Amino acid sequence: MPVCYACGNDYDKAFQVTLASGETYHFDSVECAATVVSPSCETCGVRILGHGLEADGVFYCCDHCARKAGIEELRDRA
C-alpha cells in the first residue's frame, strides 16, 4: 500500500497526485494533499485552496492581503 507523503499513514485507499513539474506524491486524504501541494498566502500564511491571486510569482488569498503587501492592481472582483 502507498504511504502518505505528508503523515506517513499506510492506507489502502491512498491516491496519487502528479504535479505539472512531474513530481509525484501519494496521500491518504485531501487534507494531507492540501498541506503539501497548495500554496500559502504570502501575507497571512493561510493555505489557498481556491483560485487565490498571484503577482510576480507570489500568491495571496485575497486582494486585502495583496494590498497589505503593496500590490494594488489585484482585485477579488471587478
**pTM given for the model:** 0.77
Where are the domains positioned within the chain? 1-37, 39-78
Average pLDDT, the chain: 93
- Residues 2, 11 contacting (CB under 8 angstroms): yes
pLDDT tens digit string along 6-39? 999 999 999 999 999 999 999 999 999 999 999 9
Quick one: which H or E segment has residue 58? strand 58-60
Does the pLDDT value for residue 78 go beyond 80? no
User: How confident is the model over 36-53, as a mean pLDDT?
Assistant: 94
